[in-house]
Structure formats: structure tokens, C-alpha cells
Amino acid sequence: MAGAGTLARERIGSACADVNIYDGEDAFYESTKSVPRQSLVLYAVFFCDSEIRNGGLRQLFGNSTGILVPEAIEGFRAIGLEACADTIEKASRLFGDTFPRDRWKRQEIIESLEYPGGDPNLITEYEPDINAIMNRMHLMTRKPIVRPFDELTDAYYNAADDEDVGSAADAFIAQTMG
């Protein structure tokens, strides 16, 4: 017997093989032009769910996968997991009225949320280890670390536990694509 989500993953796999989440917003949009919307939003559901389960909403927003957040919200709604969609949407509002697709802009906002009142000029160059950046900012500013995503991550885990994402995606594929 195949595992939950197998049908959906098979259906979207080839359609999304060339989706580029790593080279910025323009490359992302260009790579999704020929991808059916239904496939893209399910791809986003699986990819974002995996990130959240691995390291929480903070990891999702801080990584390249965060570019898929608007599609993931749409996808979770499409497969009937409203609570998951609502939680991710609520967390995405911490970034302002327009969700930033740019990873570095999201990381800058995360730093400002986690270190309110910190000096934004402390970070002047790219450093591959975001934890090193955060530790340096904390030590330099002596500001307490705020964890704005922890409660929402817990809410996501609770919502996702109630409904299996893979099963919901498979049911959606069976209903809409036969």
C-alpha cells in the first residue's frame, strides 16, 4: 500500500521539477509560467509542510522555500486544511501587508522581529550561518531574543496533526484530476 501523499506527489512531481526557488523572485516566476496552478500549490504545500515539520515557521520563512508561502496558503485551502492555511497566513502577516518573496528581505525582517530595537547596521554582509548572525546581534545589542514564530508553529503542528497533509492532498487529486 502506498503512503499518504504518494498520488499527489506523483502527479505534481514532473510538473514542478524545474520550479526555481533559489535564484530570486524573477527566476521563480519565470520557472512557474508553464506549471499548472494546481500542481504548483500542492508542491508548495508539501515543500512548506516539510520545512515547518523540520524546523518550524521560522525555518520556512528564513529559507529559500519561503518564496512558496503564498502558494502554500492557497494550496492548504484547496485541500481543505483551513487551520494550516490560517496559521501560515497569520505568521506571514508579521512580514507586512505584502509578503516578501526575497529571502534576504525576509531574514532582515525576522532579525528585526527577534531583536526589536537592535541596530540594523550590525549586519553588513552575507554570512551563511544565520545562527551566527543572530548570536552576534544578541551579544552586541544585549536585547532579549523574541521568538515570534514559536506559538504559531505549535498551532500549525496541532492543526496538521488533526489532518494528514498527504491524505488530504491525495483526496484533492482524486476529486479534481481523477
In a domain, 74, yes or no: yes
Q: What is the DSSP string of 74-121?
A: HHHHHTT-HHHHHHHHHHHGGG-SS----HHHHHHHHHHHHSTT--GG
* Inter-residue contact 42 to 79 (CB < 8 Å): yes
In a domain, 133, yes or no: no
| DSSP 8-state assignment for residue 3 | P
pLDDT at residue 143, rounded to an integer: 58
Q: pLDDT tens across 40-78, in order? A: 999 999 999 999 999 999 999 999 999 999 999 999 999
Instruction: Give me the domain span that covers residue 54.
Output: 7-101+149-167
pLDDT at residue 118, rounded to an integer: 60
In a domain, 86, yes or no: yes
Mean pLDDT of 106-133: 68
pLDDT at residue 124, rounded to an integer: 47
Claim: this prediction has a pTM higher than 0.95: no
The C-alpha atoms of residue 133 and residue 35 are separated, in whole angstroms, by: 36
pLDDT at residue 75, rounded to an integer: 97
Mean pLDDT of 119-130: 54
* Inter-residue contact 102 to 25 (CB < 8 Å): yes
Instruction: Give the number of domains in the chain.
Output: 1
In a domain, 125, yes or no: no
In a domain, 38, yes or no: yes
In a domain, 79, yes or no: yes
Q: pLDDT tens across 92-112, in order? A: 999 999 999 999 999 989 988
Q: pLDDT tens across 6-29, in order? A: 888 888 888 888 999 999 999 999
More confident site: 115 or 144: 115
In a domain, 111, yes or no: no
120, pLDDT greater than 60: no
In a domain, 58, yes or no: yes
91, pLDDT greater than 80: yes
Provide CB contacts within 8 A for 60, sequence distance 6+. 48, 51, 52, 66, 69, 88
pLDDT at residue 138, rounded to an integer: 60
139, pLDDT greater than 90: no
